[in-house]
Each structure stands twice: as C-alpha cells, then as structure tokens.
Amino acid sequence: MAKVRLNKWIADCTGVSRRKADTLIEEDHVRVNRKPPVLGQMIDPEKDKVTVEGKPLLPQKKYYIAFYKPPGYITTRSDPEGRKTIYDLLPLKYQDLDPAGRLDRSSSGLLLLSNDGEFIQKLSHPRYAHKKIYRVKVNTPLTPEVLQKLEAGILLQPENKLAQCQVQEIIEMKTVVLALTTGMNRQIRRCFEALGYEVESLKRIAFAGITLHQLRPGQTRQLKPSELKSLQLPPKTNSGKRHPSQKRSKRQKPQ
C-alpha cells in the first residue's frame, strides 16, 4: 500500500474529518509506532502502527446512503423531549451515520448520510453551494409578484442575510418547486411567512444532484458509484448574495 497522510488515514478509519484528525494529532491523542507524530506526516498503513487514545486504527467500511425522511421525525441522534428521530427508522447498520444538513420535524424528503466525515463536510459546508430542490405547498394561491420577491431575496433577521429561492417550476396555484444553495434556519418557511404565507408541506426532492429515486418514506438506498463520483470534487463558490453587514454562515440549518 502506498504511503498516505496520517490525517487522511485517521479520517478513513474513524469517520472524522481531516481537520478533526489534525486536532487529535495536535492535542497529543495520536501515536505512530508509539511515538507522537507531526502534522502532515506520511505513514505506511501496512507497516506503521497508528493508535488514537491507545486504540489501534483499522479501516472502516464506508456507507453513503440516501434516506427518505417522513414528516414527524427530527434530524438528530436523540431528543431530550422524547420526540421521534430519524434513527428510530434507520436500520441497525446505519445507526452510526451522520446526516449532511438537516430537515426540520415537519419537513420530509431526501437526507444524505454517511460515516465518512470528509464526505459530510463537503456536502454540508456553505462554500460548496450544493443545490437543494424542494417541493413546497402553501395555504394561499401564489402570485407572480410573490415569486419575483422570492427570487429577488428576503432579508431575514437576526442573520441580516438575503435569502433567495430560485423558482424551478410552478406545479399549481399553491405548489411550487424551489431551489436553494444556502442553508439558513427554516429558510423557505421564513421567507413565505415574511410574505404572509404559511407552508403546508415541504419536501426535499433532490440534494447536489442526488434524488429520492423510487424511495418511499422511511426507506434507504446506497448511493451509486456514479453519484459518489459526482460529489467528490464539488465547486467552491459563494453561496448566494449577502447583505453588507452579514457574516458568513458556518453550518447548514434545517428546512
């Protein structure tokens, strides 16, 4: 086996990101052949013995799945209020997977999950501006003026950020397909609320080009090799327009 960077090997074996692996090295949790390593160190996984907090590292089987979240479940591992979570539905072998981004309790649709920390980071970080597609139904017929305002952007507080929704398709008077490349907390619902509408249903139907395909609520499927390949090198870009006083978001929020 060819030599690899130590932080990549730690990430591959544990599911953490390379940045987290570097933190483990810096905080003296890692040993290579019983000696403290340095950042950027190269290792031979077949010859070098790597431990984290005294435990030897072994290659971890990676899972990359699409999951159809039904409404009524929250996107977290546990809930102090005892509400149902997506982990009540996921098969046992997927219980250690983490989601890329979230969907709020009332929303449904596509979640991507993995135990590959770097993969999750690439999908979750706002700078990659992955497109997310939603089918949204509201309580009152939509007008051209409302759709224009959604596309122009709604300034949301307290973020002081311009939230834009790209109109992809108008299905009927109360139902529209929208695209987002940003990830503000409950962005679509808050935009419609600002315009005097109430969202009756919100379903994510695609994320970074990945679709639900033929999944039913509560079901999972493994991502195809072609889908994984398309996600390996996402473009770095600015994720939408920002108000002059706005700060860059650090994490994606549920829709």
pLDDT by residue (tens digit) across 61-106?
889 999 999 999 999 998 999 999 999 999 999 998 999 989 999 9
Determine how β-strand 55-56 pairs with β-strand 50-52. antiparallel
Please name the amino acid found at residue 176. Answer: V
Catalytic one of 48, 96, 98, 104 = 104
Task: Kindly tell me if the per-residue pLDDT of 153 is higher than 70.
Answer: yes
Give pLDDT tens digits for 230-239: 886 544 444 4
Give pLDDT tens digits for 121-152: 888 887 888 999 999 999 999 999 999 999 99
Reported as a pLDDT band with limits 50, 70 and 90, residue 49 is: very high
Domains present along the chain, CATH in parentheses: 4-56 (3.10.290.10), 64-231 (3.30.2350.10)
Of 123-127, 211-215, 249-253, highest mean pLDDT: 211-215
Residue with the two structure tokens 């005294």: 54
User: Is 104 annotated in the active site?
Assistant: yes
Question: What is the three-class DSSP state of 168?
Answer: strand
Which segment of 11-15, 42-46, 213-217 scores lowest on mean pLDDT? 11-15
Question: What is the three-class DSSP state of 251?
Answer: coil
Instruction: Estimate to the nearest angstrom the gap between the alpha carbon of 108 and the chain centroid.
Output: 14
Among 52, 32, 49, CA closest to 41: 32
Question: What is the three-class DSSP state of 25?
Answer: helix
Give me the chain's average pLDDT, please: 89
Tell me how far apart the terminal alpha carbons of the chain are, to the nearest angstrom. 43
Reported as a pLDDT band with limits 50, 70 and 90, residue 252 is: low
Q: What is the pLDDT of residue 246?
A: 42
Please name the amino acid found at residue 15. Answer: G
